[in-house]
Structure 1
């Protein structure tokens, strides 16, 4: 039996996350107007002061952090066999002790405090001073762990960063390598929410509604707009997931998002979202009219406001969501140099308000099924279900009324030779809206309604029939 203690690193090893980044975004969420404060703390006192101040101002729910289950199972077995477990981390001692207390398997904690940032060589020196050279085994994952492995008896490597495994093996004392990461391509696709790019197909609606599909220049502009809008949207999704880490981890579905689950490192998300954002605006201003860039900027600002503040305001959140759907149509209009019509704008606002309310209704329904009274991070309560349903169905039916009035407009006759055929689309939309709400009422709406429609066979049939009706009316 080995008597030497097993020393375990925290960030990226015990948890598939980084406490410094977690606490930084927790601070930004709590104090968005003080976004500059961490930079000042870092400049004045280095990482030790930064981590200490964040620990004083930010709270992290350690019970929902993405722990590595395979590693914890192995550590628990080692402890049962008589091994002493030590948590040694560069994270602040407040968070480290909270995690140790939550897991209940560690005997000792070494961590950063206001005077020392316990990382790399400093961690090695502290452990050697306590246990002696080769007096402990060490579990880590990063380049900062390499000097600690050199001083350890046995090295254990967990989901190593690029180049770390090779450096660790260079010491000749690697006992085991733990690999539990999912497929990188799948993680990236899910993190960027490529399936949500379906919403950006709304950019092509002005192209079709204005009968510009035979204009190759406008078609190319719409395609570029679709790509840039998707990049911008993915950037926003990443930022939103970083800001919502804790709330997502308490959600039965959202906790599986890569950043919340630890499948994608927080530093990757932190780096990727500005890269996508700058690339999107660079392409937009290089190849599209400036109006499109302005709309894209407005979308980003509105989405940022929604992610940080507005989504916690009752009813404001659904109106903003409807607006974010509609902005895609405005962006498509700006990209092809067309004019936004009253009818398209009115129809969009009503139909998308209905879909936004469907989304909120589905979340409330799921919450009620789990026996909860109030949503986490939202202002809704379970008793709001009936009111939201009433508002949502009314808004959807108003969208159909707008379509009916559009058929009677004089301008419609200039675009369609047989505008009366469009009347056939009205009962189809009434059916689809009613069916969507019934599905939500029965608890079957477990995704964004537009994404649901893209995967639902009946919805696709309705969309196809509506497209055929408009084509016959031309």
Structure 2
């Protein structure tokens, strides 16, 4: 029986964007930023013009789990087919050698890898030369995903092109046999990474407008602009947060499907989108007022600190979450040019402190083990403590609401004082219900988003608004205006 020896030619795979639906350089950068932020930034600046050294430094600083990284399933199918045929499957990458070796071991590929060292960046012509030296001219099939791989495809027996149609057509025009493979990425999902569904939380900017009964068109439009600025600022931080949490998200039953964790969206594209969102947010804020710009920058700085470090610190993380929500109310007052009472802020902070506890209660309740949650300072044993702090937050919020009702501002805005006291009933019901649902694990991981979709909760909040408008005499004024 004759054996076709060409089947024994090795299958050589690029890593970034080919075998993996991610990029090891960016993976190590963001892992390093979370684990050793100052050292990572310093190394990035010092070695920006020396890719080989940069990759080696970041690989040492950012400890990553290569076994969790998303692979291209179509490429994996080709790997298994090649292995079944008795062919060697070799990784050849411009990424750091230590990472590539670990990746090959994770997936049962050849122990022989070709990759960058601290002194040599194995990309383009350098990689082509190394492969020809190892396997001979036309002695291998090569899978790559970008124009830089054309220098290698020209020396390969066959070109396996992953997601780069332009390069595939050029190689075909040059007479090279081409196999096309889908990239497995969906760059359009970048919108999902910006989390537009979270923008609804920025309706909190309208709280000062409602409290001051200022419903002028100019005030509303300015507040809408402020809401747009805060939404884009939040999106830029969501991108940073997701990139810092890649490993934790991949260990999470639901979050592993997020655009960056799953590899659906390239990290570089996400970084560009996050930067653009942040810049537009700052420009809008600057147009509104210097004070509003200051609040936006404070929000972004505090959010960044939360993503980098504070969210891993017990109790401090919950206080920061409450502060971030309270800043939205302050921002609404500055955007619309309306006065916000100190008592309103003192009421809002403990209320959001409660919701921060609810967020963590939901997470620990749904946890499968008693171990601390990935990237968090809590585990299931902290459930009772979180409940106690949540209850204290409810009590503090209700007391501050009652105290506010006796202030001169409240007496001038709400002449029918007892209706303001009556508001305590639906407010208490709403807060206690949120705590109960979190304790039972029956809530979305973001209580604010849940609240804005929860029909019963929305009904309770509408009752509060109706009572406040009645206490202020607004219904009578509006109806009188309509009848008149």
TM-score by length of 2: 0.92
Unaligned stretches of 5+ residues in structure 1 = none
- Shift of residue 116, structure 1, vs aligned partner: 1.3
Larger radius of gyration: 2
Alpha-carbon shift at residue 430 of structure 1 (Å): 1.5
Displacement of 1:165: 4.3
Matched-pair contact (CA < 8 Å) for 1:393–1:433: no
> Which residue of the partner structure matches residue 481 of structure 2?
none
CA RMSD of aligned residues (A): 1.8
Give the deviation of 1:405 after TM superposition: 2.8
Aligned to 1:210: 212
**Mapping for residues 36-185 of structure 1, pairs under 5 Å:** 36-43=42-49, 46-160=50-164, 163-179=166-182, 181=184, 183-185=186-188
Following superposition, the deviation at residue 114 of structure 1 comes to: 1.9
SS across alignment from 2:423: helix
Kept in 2, the 8 Å contact 1:76–1:105? The answer is no
CA distance change for structure 1 residues 193 and 300 in 2, over 3 Å: closer, same or farther?
Answer: same
**Structure 2 equivalent of residue 12 of structure 1:** 17
Alpha-carbon distance in 2 for matches of 1:171, 1:423: 81
What's the counterpart of residue 328 of structure 2? Answer: 328
State which drifts further: 413-422 or 306-315.
413-422
What corresponds to 2:296 in structure 1? 296
1:430-445 superposed matches below 5 A: 430-445=428-443
Question: Mapping of 1:353-432 within 5 angstroms?
Answer: 353-367=353-367, 370-432=368-430
Tell me the CA shift for residue 197 of structure 1: 0.6
Corresponding residue for residue 482 of structure 2: none
SS of residue paired to 2:113: strand
1:196 aligns with 198
Quick check: 2:415–2:471 contact (8 Å CA) kept in 1? yes
Structure 2: gaps (5+ residues): 473-484
> Which is worse superposed, 111-120 or 169-178?
169-178
Q: Which secondary structure does the structure 2 equivalent of 1:455 belong to?
A: coil
**Partners of 1:445 and 1:378 in 2: CA distance:** 18
Distance 2:173 2:337 in 1: 61
Instruction: Tell me, in whole angstroms, the C-alpha distance in 2 between the residues paired with 1:170 and 1:387.
Output: 68
Q: Is the 8 A contact 2:168 2:178 kept in 1?
A: no
Say if 1:289 and 1:335, in contact at 8 Å, map to a contact too.
yes
Instruction: Please state how far the C-alpha of 1:422 moved relative to its aligned partner.
Output: 3.0
Deviations 1:55-92 (A, max 9, x none): 23331111211122232133112211222211110001
Farther off after superposition, 146-155 or 382-391: 146-155
Structure 1 residues 180, 439: closer, same or farther in 2, change over 3 A?
Answer: farther
Asked whether the equivalents of residues 232 and 277 of structure 2 are also in contact (C-alpha less than 8 Å), the reply is yes
User: TM-score, with normalisation over the residues of structure 1?
Assistant: 0.93
Q: What does residue 273 of structure 2 align with?
A: 272
Comparing 24-33 with 342-351, which one deviates more in the overlay?
24-33
Whether 1:242 aligns to 2:216 is no
Cα 1:426–1:378 shift into 2, 3 Å: same
Q: In the alignment, is the contact (CA less than 8 A) between 2:451 and 2:457 conserved in 1?
A: yes
Please report how far the alpha carbon of residue 252 of structure 1 lies from its aligned counterpart in structure 2 after TM superposition: 2.1
CA-to-partner distance for each residue in 1:231-251, whole Å, 9 max, x for gaps? Answer: 111011111212222222222
Matched residues in 2 for 1:5 and 1:49: separation? 29
Query: Which of 445, 448, 457 is equivalent to 2:446?
Result: 448
